[in-house]
Amino acid sequence: MKNKLTIIKVGGGILNERKLFEIFLENYSKIKGLKLLIHGGGVIASSYMIRLGIPVKMNKGRRITDSNTLDIAVMTYAGLINKNIVSILQKFNCNAIGLCGADANLITSKIREIKEIDYGLVGDIISVNDNFINQLLKLKISPIICSLTHNGYGQLLNTNADSIASEISIKLSKNYDVTLKYCFDKPGVLIDKNDNLSLKKTISKTDYKQLVNNKIISDGMVPKIENCFYALENGVNNVFIGDHDIIKTTDDCSKIIL
């Protein structure tokens, strides 16, 4: 029987609210068994960019990353956010280590091809080196991975955190029984976006197609849910999507099923 591994992807406003985020991390530290956290930090990156007079450019919710933007992403994701997460987790007796995709050659990627939009220094994942993650998990060290990868030729690349979460989960599902939880600002998929009580608790592929047709799932939620199906179709055991309470219980969130 495989060991259980919980993989959490955290994003959204919670990273920016120190007290809420500390509670989140305390709950993370209480997850039984092996665990791994993936985070972005776009809101904090944008706030530093504005302070530094660097233009924030987005296309359909994805950041266009020139070299100044990448510097700020590296500073905030791999520095400010990642190391504060690690030091707070140490306080809660969770031995954590903060990493980006260049560390120990964890995640290699290639620069995104220019089609309609030139996203700049954005990487699409080529491979995940699970050996080192396995070593860390054996040592009871929890990896905290930020949304940066590298191309192997000295270039760091900004990479979507949801994609990192699904690719790492798939790779680790070879050796572990993986539960992947995407944690964002809403309790899950809402039939009425203004009513948390309209939460859809399970979403199959058939449901998904209907929800897209009815425009209930749209914009940034589309790639998010597609990442969930992609993970399930490639070996991940369970995938949930919900708000920060998802870390304690999956009673009030959306479970994605094939």
Report in angstroms how near the CB of residue 242 gets to its own copies at its nearest.
Answer: 26
Report in angstroms how near the CB of residue 138 gets to its own copies at its nearest.
Answer: 10
Q: Which of 63, 136, 56, 148 shows the shortest CA–CA distance to 107?
A: 148
For its own copies, give the closer residue by CB, 74 or 199.
74
Report whether 216 contacts 191 (CB < 8 A).
yes
For its own copies, give the closer residue by CB, 5 or 136.
136
Burial class of residue 214 (count of CB atoms within 10 Å of its CB; 0-12, 13-18, 19+): exposed
Give the chain's length: 258
Three-point CA angle 116, 122, 128, nearest 5°: 125
For its own copies, give the closer residue by CB, 15 or 156.
156
Report whether 183 contacts 252 (CB < 8 A).
no
Report in angstroms how near the CB of residue 245 gets to its own copies at its nearest.
Answer: 22
For the beta carbon of residue 23, count every other beta carbon within 10 angstroms: 14
Report in angstroms how near the CB of residue 136 gets to its own copies at its nearest.
Answer: 8
Report in angstroms how near the CB of residue 135 gets to its own copies at its nearest.
Answer: 7
For its own copies, give the closer residue by CB, 79 or 223.
79
Please enumerate in sequence order all residues whose Cβ is within 8 A of that of 86, keeping only pairs 6 or more positions apart, or say none.
Answer: 96, 97, 98, 144
**171 phi, psi to nearest 5 deg:** -65, -40
For its own copies, give the closer residue by CB, 149 or 250.
149
Q: What are the residues binding its own copies (CB under 8 A)?
A: 22, 48, 51-52, 71, 74-80, 82-84, 86-88, 90-91, 95-100, 102-105, 132, 135, 139, 141, 148, 150, 152-156
